[in-house]
Structure 1
Amino acid sequence: MTPNSASASSGPSRRSFLASTAVATAAVAGGMPLLAACGGSDGGSREGTTSGKAADKLLPTYIASTVAKPDIPSKNGSAAGFTSKIDLASLATSVPDKLGTGAPFTILSPLWGTPPKPDCAYYKALDAAAGTKITWQNQDGNTYGQKLGAVLASSSIPDMVVVPSWNLVGKIASAVSAKFMDLGPYLAGDKIKKYPNLAAIPSDSWRMSIFGGALRGIPMPAAPVTNIVPFYRKDIFDKKGYTVPKSADEFLSWAKEATSAKAKVWACGDMRWAAASIFGLLPAGPLGWNIGADGKLTYRIEHPEYLEHLEWVRKLFDAGVVHPDDKANTGDPTQRFTAGQTLVVNSDMSGWYGLTAQQAKSNPGFEMDGMDYFAAGGGNPTLYAVPPASIWSMIRKGASKETIENALAAANFAAAPFGTKERMFVDYGVEGTHYTVKNGVPVKTDLGNQEVNNAWVLLAAPAPYLAHPDLPEVTRKQVEWQQRQGAFVKKTSTYGMNIIEPSRYANLSSPFEQLEIDYVRGNKSLSDVQQAISTWKSSGGDKLRDWYKQLLDKNGSGN
């Protein structure tokens, strides 16, 4: 059971974010510009945010769940960890009474993989357990934005719609407050008590669910600790007697020692994602705006750390310690990592479980671990919090009261915490039909692999947690890594705010991703990057700063 993580991947991507049957930590680090209004009414302003006192009045009361106790409690913003085996007889009940009335409703949702049949055993069982009758309109997750845009532009919108943050651009963003209802009358304040699993979702995640001045989204919460981990081959490090580096210079020195092109072993892949944290760089997107100690509001690319982290990564390429395929930007970096061709790769945290499980039989000596982040010059790092939610389910305006209550009943069931019967239902389906439990480890049947997909898990999720009954030690490593890094996590001035920038600035930062890729590989010069920063300022960056300053003056800082 792997809620709150994605599948093994070469880095954060939309596909990896939802590749498993249970999801949580946003794989899109740094956030995306989202729609909300500056305290406006329904269908009001299409840009800005709602935060501070205005947001506090809209939030549900937080009531932590006590139905299942984690083996490793959350600390420093980490996920909670469950390392015990599964005992079906001792699972708690988080939804003692069916809240659904069985009234039918439809849900539009992305799905990665082959959609199951509408009347499949999994859907029937979940409906029976939750008291719902859902017709799923599953769409290809890779092209979901196109479908979502077409649906929101039409006059026929499903009763409930799953909306990922990466799709909230252009007209889709503008449609959110116009098309989806205010859930405040059902969930704000103590009203949430009717739905205990939803009440246990952290307040920061609910705050990120405010669109157009109203609570419109039901969130999937995420831990604030970065999900990008500098993984290293611990088995090879131990065999070779390597010491894990503690500074940028130590890393480069080790990388030169460990690389042997003749032996087809290189130290690492492209380390840009990890380098951003090593050098204390602000995140991308709205979270990259921050008011410093000097009282000035600046964006990430204006900071010296921006050029410094790129220059360090370029040194790695220039030294020949990066795998040639990484330099060519081809293939899968994690495959080179598991093959021992590269010894360090920065990837999504989900790879800790995914790659370990993948290698368990074919490569039993395989062992990976996560490097703790360090400051470039050594010592403690400066890390920044990622968004507390990046995907929501929403209910269309005009839905009947019975439809709304059934949709909320489904979301409450989907948000059941680990260690409950409802969580097993959502993640594994029916015992004997979709899975069996062997030595405390749930194993899906062929039918389970076909039908138990990423549908119900997208309606809502519990507070962040990690659980891998088949590899409990991986769970422990993941949570303890988050706890150690979490001690150094800071929030930027825009943390927890659902922000959409004015459309005239929508493509302002677009050139930088490719420019960074080209620069670290030696295909662009430092002056090219500096010129891009100057162009960014003159083409709208300075005006965007004024816009953010006005927004923060009005709403207050997120930190």
Structure 2
Amino acid sequence: MPRRHGRDRRRRSRVRLRGHRRRHLPGRAGTPGGATSSGAGAGEILPSYIPKEYVQPDFPAPASGYTSIPEFVQAFPAPPGSGGTYKAMTPLWGAIPPTTGNLYFDTVNKAIGSKVEFQISDGNTYGDKLAAVLASPKDIADWVCIPSWNVPPRFGTAVDQLFTDLTPYLAGDKVKEYPNLANIPTDAWRFCVWNNKLVGLPMPDSGVPNPLFYRDDIFAELGITDLPTTPDELIELAKQLTDPGKGVYGAEDLWTQAANMYETPSKWKLDGDKLVHRVETEEYRGALEWIRKLFEAGVVHPDAVAGNNGDAKTRFESGRTLIANDGIGGWSEALQRNLGSNPGYSQRPMPVFGVNGTDVKIYKGNAASIMSYLKKTDDEAKIKELLKIADFLASPFGTTEYQLINFGVENEHYTIDGDGLPVSTELAATELQPTYIFLVDPPVANTKVQFPGYVEASSTWINETAKHFVDPVFYGLNIAEPSEYASLATPFTDLEKDIARGRKSLSDLDAAVETWRKSGGEELRTFYQKILDEQ
């Protein structure tokens, strides 16, 4: 998917050991009248969580960090499939590989014992393609990937007609028949429930927030050892780091950090029994007040002030800015880009803090944002074969199946270097792109051992940060809003930028909130309140 979502699964020239990733994903409106799932309160609808470790991590979940490459274990002594052939529709953010005459696909399908024929589409236009296909049920593939940001209108009411109810096969202890699916944490399955039925298969995510990174290598050169523990201290540090004469600024646009520090909900919060929208909260106002102070202090790089956030990574990695938000996956990607030419390059995430110091709560991100669905069928043998394939694809890190799915065939798609790491070949660049992972994926594993100290540092930060996690209101619910409310919150995106840069004031926020309420916000609140009362 696109880099800005923090999970770049495209081929690397050297190694593609996967690590934690975090996304900020756009939502989609739903059908008039709305539709919902009962994910958070699904009870026996959800599969039992039965952890299965083929190799034990050095750091426990949620980090699941491995500091060395283990001996791989074979999870499937024989192919689980029954020889069926199934079409699968998936997105791809990268060059689409050939789907025939492809050693990678042929080898994986042989190991599965069934044939998965991919219909791969450009991820940037996948939503349009998906909507067209779902509008014509006869054209739907046997297995369809639907990212949460591509859920089409009226999906909540159409899902029962289009896709197979997996509840009878996976709910509760029934999932034991598929041990690798049972190894997927419960939170990921919550996002697969529609209309009180388990319909989807998840691609798990860690749910960690975007860290606030700092250039610890440059901090060491400057003799800076004390990190901030309050929002005001962060601004003071950014002032200390800023030297316009040298073209160095303390920070990028830190709106994500502002929202995190002030514990701003992503959409709703409960004030007693009343639902309060994000834009109505004191937390949102506090975040806006702080981000304006940051910009007024003159510590934000001029290009970021001008709204050019596309080059933020380049500015940060070149040392023109020294503090920036990024997805957790961006950390290892930056090391991949820079260590070759700058062996001393280093960035670290700051320990989390907020308006209440280090006593801060952090709203969890989605435990899954990409799901797949099986085409509606009454053929039980077909459903079970597809679930056996899914169980194979969910083989976790430490298995030969995982290695095959992610790296291909040894000595064809990769070789092993002196450190035991897979090195991609030219054939891999042509044939091997992430495809099977969009159907179902194992729990996230932090395995980037090629970067000295990375697994230890990132795993420690993740596990410490997770201690502050709280569930947002409606966490794990698939809710399709009535379409007439789809653009209600849109004006606030520009307003946030304008207030930060001094073009508008907090009185403009008050006016915008009042417009939101009169333009449908109160009705939207009633819609969500009904859902809340039903949970």
Calculate the TM-score normalised by the size of structure 2. Answer: 0.93
Pairing partner for 1:12 from 5, 23, 29 = 5
Cα RMSD, aligned residues only: 2.3
Tell me what 2:283 maps to: 305
Per-residue deviation, residues 535-557 of structure 1 (Å, max 9, x unmatched):
111212222222222211111xx
Bigger mean CA offset, 146-155 vs 44-53: 44-53
| Runs of 4+ displaced beyond 4 Å | 16-26, 33-36, 171-174
Per-residue deviation, residues 167-192 of structure 1 (Å, max 9, x unmatched):
11424555333311111222222322
The alpha-carbon deviation at position 17 of structure 1 amounts to 5.6
Tell me what 1:39 maps to: none
Partner of 1:162, secondary structure, is strand
Identical positions, percent = 37
Pairing partner for 1:520 from 477, 482, 500 = 500
Q: Note if 1:115 corresponds to 2:108.
A: no
1:548-559 → structure 2 map (5 Å cutoff): 548-555=528-535
Q: Note if 1:60 corresponds to 2:60.
A: no
Alignment gaps of 5+ in structure 2: none
Pairing partner for 1:329 from 307, 313, 324 = 307
The alpha-carbon deviation at position 48 of structure 1 amounts to 2.5
The one-letter amino acid paired with 2:36 is: G
Calculate the TM-score normalised by the size of structure 1. Answer: 0.89
Q: Note if 1:144 corresponds to 2:126.
A: yes
The alpha-carbon deviation at position 24 of structure 1 amounts to 8.1
Q: Structure 1 residues 253 and 233, CA, compared in 2 at 3 Å: closer, same or farther? A: same
Distance 2:30 2:64 in 1: 30
The one-letter amino acid paired with 1:296 is: K
The alpha-carbon deviation at position 337 of structure 1 amounts to 0.5
Tell me what 1:355 maps to: 334
Pairing partner for 1:84 from 65, 68, 72 = 68
The alpha-carbon deviation at position 18 of structure 1 amounts to 4.9
Partner of 1:81, secondary structure, is coil
Does the aligned pair in 1 maintain the 2:29–2:486 contact within 8 Å? no
Distance 1:450 1:521 in 2: 45
The one-letter amino acid paired with 1:458 is: F
Tell me what 2:23 maps to: 28
The alpha-carbon deviation at position 271 of structure 1 amounts to 0.1
Pairing partner for 1:391 from 361, 370, 378 = 370
Tell me what 1:48 maps to: 36
Per-residue deviation, residues 407-462 of structure 1 (Å, max 9, x unmatched):
22222122111111011011100100001111211111111133221201111122
Tell me what 1:318 maps to: 296
Distance 1:206 1:455 in 2: 20
Bigger mean CA offset, 546-555 vs 155-164: 546-555
Distance 1:45 1:211 in 2: 15
Distance 1:82 1:338 in 2: 26
The alpha-carbon deviation at position 236 of structure 1 amounts to 0.5
Tell me what 1:72 maps to: 59
Per-residue deviation, residues 474-510 of structure 1 (Å, max 9, x unmatched):
1222111111111111112311222222222222112
Alignment gaps of 5+ in structure 1: 1-5, 37-43
Distance 1:178 1:475 in 2: 44
The alpha-carbon deviation at position 313 of structure 1 amounts to 1.2
The alpha-carbon deviation at position 394 of structure 1 amounts to 0.5
Pairs aligned (count): 526
Distance 1:503 1:291 in 2: 24
Per-residue deviation, residues 376-404 of structure 1 (Å, max 9, x unmatched):
25332221111221111111113744442
Distance 2:487 2:9 in 1: 26
Does the aligned pair in 1 maintain the 2:28–2:150 contact within 8 Å? no
The one-letter amino acid paired with 1:142 is: N
Q: Structure 1 residues 32 and 177, CA, compared in 2 at 3 Å: closer, same or farther? A: farther
Distance 2:166 2:18 in 1: 23
Does the aligned pair in 1 maintain the 2:213–2:348 contact within 8 Å? yes
Pairing partner for 1:495 from 475, 479, 487 = 475
1:164-179 → structure 2 map (5 Å cutoff): 164-172=147-155, 174-179=157-162
Does the aligned pair in 2 maintain the 1:35–1:48 contact within 8 Å? no
